[in-house]
Amino acid sequence: MRLSTIKLAGFKSFVDPATLPLPTNMTGVVGPNGCGKSNIIDAIRWVMGESVASRLRGDALTDVIFAGSTTRKPVGQATVELVFDNSDGGIQGEYGAYAEISVKRLVARDGQSAYFLNGSRCRRRDIADLFLGTGLGPRSYSIIEQGMISQIVEARPEDLRVHLEEAAGISRYKDRRRETESRMRATRENMERVADVRNEVD
């Protein structure tokens, strides 16, 4: 699986629709200070579901929408789409059969947000599920930012384990297990309630 195209519109400094093709395995982004290099990384993490504004270098989630400049008015919404080449089958499951997978997120000034998978509206959870265990995700190790290496070197063993589990592809199963356990707990509680009602009736 390889990120092959990034499309942005109204996202931070990318007010006009822009398509950034990434045709090879290595792409360098160069430019003067403040030209928007880090905004591209923010865009990738944002589509993956990042929901903490400070991790996108903003105060509110709508701060990702182009806020206007001396020559341009603010715009009403931001969209970012990532297109993945999945011809190697890196993404499995429901979407595994697709050679190309598109993931898109949109946010409007009123805070309304929507996610799309191959053009169909989906939940944030579906995007998280798609990438779980692949090493990609809003906070995964495939995006290494300034300071992250020292964070990893200094990390507590339990924090390091999270990265190792993601790399080994087992975080997907741990997540499912957590979910199943919580459902089992809820069912057990329901059964206890039913037993209480039966006791009362008897």
Residue 130 CB-density burial (10 A; 0-12 exposed, 13-18 middle, 19+ buried): buried
Measured distance CA(80)–CA(156) in Å, rounded? 34
Residue type, 33: N
Asked if 39 touches ligand ATP (CB under 6 A), the answer is yes
Minimum gap (Å) between residue 75 Cβ and ligand ATP: 9
Q: Which helix (H) or strand (E) holds 191?
A: helix 171-201
3-state secondary structure of 43: helix
- How many chain residues interact with ligand ATP (CB under 6 A)? 14
Between 28 and 34, CB nearer to ligand ATP: 34
Stretch that binds ligand ATP, among 29-37, 108-116, 119-127, 152-160 (CB under 6 A): 29-37
Asked if 36 touches ligand ATP (CB under 6 A), the answer is yes
Stretch that binds ligand ATP, among 26-34, 129-137, 145-153, 177-185 (CB under 6 A): 26-34
- Give Cα 95 to chain centroid, integer Å: 16
Residue 179 is encoded by which pair of tokens?
């979910």
Q: What share of the chain is helix, strand, coil (3-state, %, to 5)?
A: 40, 20, 40
Between 28 and 31, CB nearer to ligand ATP: 31
User: Would you give the binding string for ligand ATP spanning residues 44-73, x where CB under 6 A is met?
Assistant: -------------------x-xxx------
Residue 187 backbone phi and psi in degrees, to 5: -65, -40
The Cα-based distances of 176 to 26, 171, 173, 188, 196 in angstroms read 34, 9, 5, 18, 30
Among 34, 111, 119, 157, binds ligand ATP (CB under 6 A): 34
Asked if 143 touches ligand ATP (CB under 6 A), the answer is no
Asked if 37 touches ligand ATP (CB under 6 A), the answer is yes
Among 4, 5, 13, 102, binds ligand ATP (CB under 6 A): 13
Minimum gap (Å) between residue 29 Cβ and ligand ATP: 8
Residues tagged in the binding site annotation for ATP: 32-39
Asked if 35 touches ligand ATP (CB under 6 A), the answer is yes
3-state secondary structure of 123: coil
Measured distance CA(81)–CA(7) in Å, rounded? 5
Which residues in this chain contact ligand ATP in the complex, by CB under 6 A? 12-13, 31, 33-39, 63, 65-67
